[in-house]
Structure 1
Amino acid sequence: MFQLLSTGLIAGIAGFASSFTLVVAGLQAVGASDAQAASGLLILTVLMGLVTIGLAWRYRMPITVAWSTPGAALLIVAAQGDIEFRAAVGAFIVCAVLIVVCGLVPALGRLITNIPQPIASAMLAGILFTICLAPITAAVEYPWLGLPMVVTWLILLKVAPRWAVPGALVAAVVAIAVTSGGTPFPGSTIVPQLTFVMPTFDPIVIVSLGIPLFIVTMAGQNVPGFTVMRTYGFAVPAGPALTVTGAASAASAFFGGHALNLAAITAALTASEEAHDDSSKRWIASVSAGATYVVIGLGAGLATALVTIAPPVVVVAIAGLAVMGALIASVRSALEAPEHRIAAIATFLVASSGITVIGIGSAFWALIVGAIVMVWLGWRTQRSRPNRRIDAATTLPEK
């Protein structure tokens, strides 16, 4: 039992510490005040804990729920223009409703998950790329803050990879505390409290933020989440999992949260032999992780206050270290198929450019450009293929 509980505790701490700065920075980028960002972090952390406990308990599987990390990165990239936070919350709700619909209508879920992998991965890579540049910028602009963080990350990446990002966070916190001269935190920001946000539904923001958020959450988190669980022999019921996480996302949106989904990395901890040799007992580790999230959520105000007093580029730099592995995986997946590499690179370049056209951000245009390039090159290939098939019919039996 100790092994199960301790694994869940580690998963909860690592899951929160590795990317909470990205969540806060993302919410602030789309117009959230400090209080609204703290509220969003609080509701996301508590709800992902409660939903994790509920799903793990109900299905006796080590199901773990997390916030959308690539979605939080998207918020930073999408904030090239001025976005009112109420409109961003409206986009969050649209994203949540679409996730619920995917759970209720399996055909839609299959349609979204069948978006060509090179396009989806390249869009995610483009979003993460700008975030992963932040450690370099921070090390140059604020060397007394950025260098200790990066060096600590590199050292722990060699000796204790699981603690590399939390260790970098601790190094950054110490450096910030030393250089800030003991700047006190405002008491009102430390006390955890929920702040209700009345949403507005702006079509431009929905297209530039809500739809891409939905796609990266599904393709970048839910699909890998299901895959990780299958790897360890657990067939998570897709319909209920998507419906519940989508409904929880909608509830969190009214208090500033962006999106919840199935976890992948933390799920690999609670679903593996590391949690327990007996797979039928590993759900207890997820319950432990969920309880850890609920407790940690009470410190959301303090976490947000810490992010607020740090230079923005340093905050994003911590997040950049956290998503470095996701960037590598996305690039590898995007370029895996040689015939789609041009389309993938086009998607990546548009997504990372940060352009805004008619008020719509680069993530949406990346999907459009990638799809156009893929269709065009695919069409050209189909036009020229019949002659080749005659010459090599025996060696090209496939399409």
Structure 2
Amino acid sequence: MNKVFKDVSLSACVAGFVAVLIGFASSVAIVFQAAQSAGASNDIIVSWIMALGLGMGASCFLLSLWYKAPVITAWSTPGAALLVTSLGGISYPEAIGVFVFAGGLALLTGISGLFDKLMSIVPLPIACAMLAGVLFKFGLSIFDSMFSHTFLVSCMLISYLLSKRFTPRYAVLFVLATGVAFVLASTNMDFSELPIEVGHFIWVWPEWDISALIGVGIPLYIVTMTSQNVPGIAVMRSSGYDTPASPLISWTATASIVLAPLGGFAFNLAAITAAICSGKECHEDPKKRYIAGLSAGVFYLLAGLAGTTVVALFSFFPTAMIASLAGIALLGTIGANLKNAMMDDDIREPALVTFLVTVSGVAFADIASAFWGILFGLVYLFVLKRKA
């Protein structure tokens, strides 16, 4: 632990906080909708938030500490979106059964070593191109948000430019402080009505329905693996971390199985928030960026315990501020991945195809574009090699 305390830095702790802030604020509304689609009461929805915070917090902290790398986990946002439209006609205990089943499939994928073997097939430029495509829309969101909140986003951008010039390690901190200060100064927020309360867990035993397991459980597994875990590993690889993928998949899947009865519907490796914690803005020394994972774990645990309060607090800040903060924090990562994707002349065109397919957002068979981007890029590369 002495080494951990020596490695602690303000920039890494801020990166972890920003990751949690963006992770919650960007998609917690979808989780609410998914819980309501499952027939959850308000008390059970609070249990969902607490279980998700506990699962992400514990997995972030312990995995980052064990592997000494910024291992950032998250709930499956695409999975939650899938559940919103797929749980109609399924009882709440049957929905819990679906969550356990999907987690079991992910666990089998992890312990079999299959995921590591699949990822070893993907060249680094292809993986970087896919990741750049996933992150690209966040960079665009800066200027989309500027159209509706010109002064707010402009101030955040100016803050970023000045801090990058003089104190680059704390650039994201200054951007966050600028955004919060602007919102506080320009609105009349009444924090007296902010609920300060800690919820409680509600355990529901799973029930099993074959049609639900096949019709919802398998798509939930596929969506989580292709749109979350694949980009998550790509983030780590592009940042130079060779942490074995299969154990990470196994542990997040175990968390899904254990916490599903409390509302932890699906845990996986993060991509967007992981990129924030694994870049140079977090820390110049890659060996000390794991502190961001520890920091994110602590903040996730706190957010989970105070789920009701945290959700209400996030509602005070405009979507444009959160979107711009995410985009600005990811600028360096987007640039680095575009550079890595296009460096190799022999793989440049397959990487470009991967990038374009991923950016397009196509979702054949309801499978995310990140998967199709990699598939198209690999096929393109295979054909070129055969031709050669």
TM-score by length of 1: 0.69
Out of 56, 61, 72, the residue aligned to residue 66 of structure 1 is 72
Task: Check the 8 A contact 1:252/1:258 in 2, yes or no.
Answer: no
Partner letter of residue 349 of structure 1? Answer: L
5+ residue gaps in structure 2? Answer: 37-41, 89-94, 207-211
Range with greater deviation from structure 2 (163-172 or 24-33): 24-33
Structure 1 residues 41 and 163: CA distance shift in structure 2, 3 A: farther
Please report how far the alpha carbon of residue 150 of structure 1 lies from its aligned counterpart in structure 2 after TM superposition: 1.9
RMSD: 4.7
**CA-to-aligned-CA distance 1:121-170 (integer Å, 9 cap, x gap):** 22221111011111111122211321222222222222332322232222
- 1:270-313 CA-to-partner distances (Å, cap 9, x unmatched) read 996996xxxxxx99998787556544654554443343343434
Q: How many angstroms apart in 2 are the aligned matches of 1:283 and 1:205?
A: 29
Q: Is the 8 A contact 2:47 2:202 kept in 1?
A: yes
SS of structure 1 residue aligned to 2:189: coil
Which one of the candidate residues 47, 58, 67 is aligned to 1:50? 58
Counterparts of 2:359 and 2:292 in 1: how far apart (Å)? 37
2:227 aligned residue (196, 212, 217):
212
Matches within 5 A, 1:62-141: 62=68, 64-68=70-74, 75=78, 83-84=84-85, 97=104, 100-141=107-148
Instruction: Give the counterpart letter for 1:138 in structure 2.
Output: S
Q: Deviations over 1:226-253 (max 9, x none)?
A: x44x7xxxxx676655432432255566
> Which of the numbers 156, 167, 171 marks the counterpart of 2:163?
156
After superposition, the Cα gap between the structure-2 partners of 1:20 and 1:95, relative to the gap in structure 1 and judged at 3 Å, is farther
Distance 1:211 1:174, change over 3 A: same
Change (3 A) 1:331 1:19: farther
Q: Decide whether aligned partners of structure 1 residues 206 and 65 sit closer, same or farther in structure 2, where only a CA change above 3 A counts.
A: closer
Measured after TM superposition, the shift of residue 15 of structure 1 is: 0.9
> Which among 250, 259, 265 is matched to residue 268 of structure 2?
259
Taking a change above 3 Å as real, the CA distance of residues 40 and 65 of structure 1, as seen in their structure-2 partners, is farther
Say whether the 8 Å CA contact 1:207–1:364 is kept in structure 2.
no
Tell me how far apart the structure 2 counterparts of residues 357 and 213 of structure 1 sit (CA, whole Å).
17
Worse-matched range after superposition: 100-109 or 148-157: 100-109
> Do structure 1's residue 24 and structure 2's residue 32 form an aligned pair?
no
In the alignment, does 2:175 pair up with 1:168?
Answer: yes
Residues 159, 174 of structure 2: 8 Å contact kept: yes
From the superposition, tell whether residues 84 and 248 of structure 1 become closer, same or farther in structure 2 (CA, over 3 Å): same
SS at match of 1:338: coil
| 1:343/1:370 contact within 8 Å kept | yes
- Structure 1 residues 87-138: Cα deviation after superposition (integer angstroms, max 9, x where no partner): 9999987875565345422354132233233332222211110111111111
Opposite residue 229 of structure 2, the aligned amino acid is F
- 2:247 aligned with 1:247: no
> How high is the sequence identity, in percent, across the aligned residues?
25
Describe how 1:293-332 pairs up with structure 2 within 5 A.
294-295=301-302, 297-298=304-305, 301-332=308-339
Matched residue SS, 2:72? strand
Q: Map Cα deviations across residues 290-344 of structure 1 (whole Å, 9 max, x no partner).
A: 5565446545544433433434343222111222222122212221221222222
Report how many residues are paired: 360
With 251-260 and 123-132 compared, the bigger mean Cα shift is at 251-260
Q: Contact 2:103 / 2:256 at 8 angstroms: preserved in 1?
A: yes
Once the two structures are overlaid, the 10-residue window that deviates more, 98-107 or 324-333, is 98-107
Closer, same or farther: CA 62–217 of 1 in aligned 2, 3 Å: closer
**Cα distance change of structure 1 residues 3 and 167 upon mapping to structure 2, 3 Å threshold:** farther
What amino acid does structure 2 have at the position aligned with 1:211? T
Of 176-185 and 345-354, more deviation after overlay is shown by 176-185
How many Å separate the matches in 2 of 1:285 and 1:213?
19
- Could you say what secondary structure the match of 1:321 adopts? helix
Deviates more, 1:356-365 or 1:327-336: 356-365
Does the 8 A contact of 2:61 with 2:293 survive in 1?
A: yes
Deviation at 1:173, TM superposition (A): 2.1
Contact 1:8 1:288 (8 Å CA) reproduced: no
Letter in 1 for 2:322: V
